[in-house]
Amino acid sequence: MKNIVIIATGGTIAGSGEAGRTTEYRAGTVAVADILKSVPQLGKLANIEMISLMSVDSNEMDEQKWLQLREVINQQAARDDVDGIVVTHGTDTIEETAYFLNLTVNTAKPVVLTGAMRPATATSADGPFNIYQAVALAADDQTYDCGVVCLFSSTIYSARDIAKINNYKIDAFSSLNDHAALGYMRDAEVFITSRPVSKHTIHSKFSQLEYSALPKVGVAVYYAGAPAEVLERLGQDCDGLVVIGTGSGNYSQAWRQKLDALAERGVVVVRSSRVSNSIVFDEPIFDPHDHFIGVNTLTSYKARILLMLCLTQTNDIAAIRQTFFKY
Ligand code: SIN
């Protein structure tokens, strides 16, 4: 049997509230070891080791916690007697943590993130089955060198493309921009149907590096009539800025002028769109310009992570554009 390490970080999967209810609960209050007891079939899938790393609502995740998690995953993955890793995590920011790990962990061994939409105390809690399938997925040879993946409701998602698209159903995730999910599961059986083409884990230049902190990158949301002054404030605090524009990554002339001024002061600006299925190219459709970087098919919040990592190496726009193209 394979040896799988489960690293618990908190979230609704470890949430508790009034018995039977799916609302009014506190995330990260139940030990994942107790949830495992409700899934005795796990013992037939793999030998399990547990690490309770933290117990937080995923809205408390930040860059330091990502770095801490990355280090523990790298340590565990380096062990000859470990075949795969499962991370339990809150669903609100799981897509950000998964993408950070996808870019920075230095292993081809399976790393599977999962969580739950219902707390452990709810009727038909979804956590136990997600953990069961996540362990089966981490123990399966097909998951080797697939990058970091997420498992929800029998669907296998790449960390790059997964997004939470629903906040009240257990089937709460999707793969954006017409990118297919990586596969699906039937109980413990794994069916990988496609593999990621963007760089990840051992193929990512960011997996070979050490980080003690990450550069500051802000996110600015444009809406009709948004005042441009907000950019001034963000520009003072940040080395980079991701702008969430409309349509193809658009904004007003006033915003463009402020962004030009920030770019001239050395702030690296990345353009993205509030449209959930969108491609944002380097040249704005209505306003050809060369200061800025388009996210291509990344979501804004993942673009922020990639930009932070890029800025640890360079602030050269052409080089960062190349990276956005490949990652
Ligand atoms: C969280 O993200 O920690 C709370 C919500 C959830 O896990 O579904």
Domain span including residue 86: 2-203
Scan for tokens 């802000």, then name that residue: 218
164 lies in the same domain as 231: no
Atom of ligand 1 nearest to the CA of 92: 2
257 lies in the same domain as 291: yes
232 lies in the same domain as 93: no
Q: Pairing relation of β-strands 162-164 and 173-175?
A: antiparallel
**Residue among 111, 99, 116 nearest 28 (CA):** 116
For residue range 109-128, list pLDDT tens digits in order.
999 999 999 999 999 999 99
Mutate to test the pocket of ligand 1, among 13, 25, 92 (most ligand atoms within 8 A of CB): 92
Distance CA(282)–CA(288), nearest Å, equals 9
Pair 116, 11: CB distance under 8 Å: yes
Q: Report how far Cα 255 is from the mean position of its chain's Cα atoms.
A: 28
Q: How far is the CA of 38 from the centre of ligand 1 (A)?
A: 20
| Residue at a domain's end among 203, 227, 243 | 203
Pair 151, 172: CB distance under 8 Å: no
Pair 217, 311: CB distance under 8 Å: yes
39: three-class secondary structure by DSSP: coil
- Please give the positions annotated as active site: 12, 91
Q: Which residues, at least 6 apart from 109, have a Cβ–Cβ distance to it below 8 Å?
A: 77, 82, 83, 84, 85, 144
In a domain? residue 253: yes
Number of C-beta neighbours around residue 26 at 10 A: 13
| Residue at a domain's end among 138, 169, 203 | 203
> Which residues, in sequence order, are bridge partners of residue 268?
240
- What's the CATH number where 54 sits? 3.40.50.1170
Question: Does the pLDDT of residue 206 top 80, yes or no?
Answer: yes
For residue range 236-269, list pLDDT tens digits in order.
999 999 999 999 999 999 999 999 999 999 999 9
For residue range 76-100, list pLDDT tens digits in order.
999 999 999 999 999 999 999 999 9
- What's the CATH number where 256 sits? 3.40.50.40
Mutate to test the pocket of ligand 1, among 13, 61, 91, 96 (most ligand atoms within 8 A of CB): 91
Q: How far is the CA of 320 from the centre of ligand 1 (A)?
A: 32
Distance CA(141)–CA(145), nearest Å, equals 9
Tokens matching residue 102: 């996808």
Atom of ligand 1 nearest to the CA of 115: 7
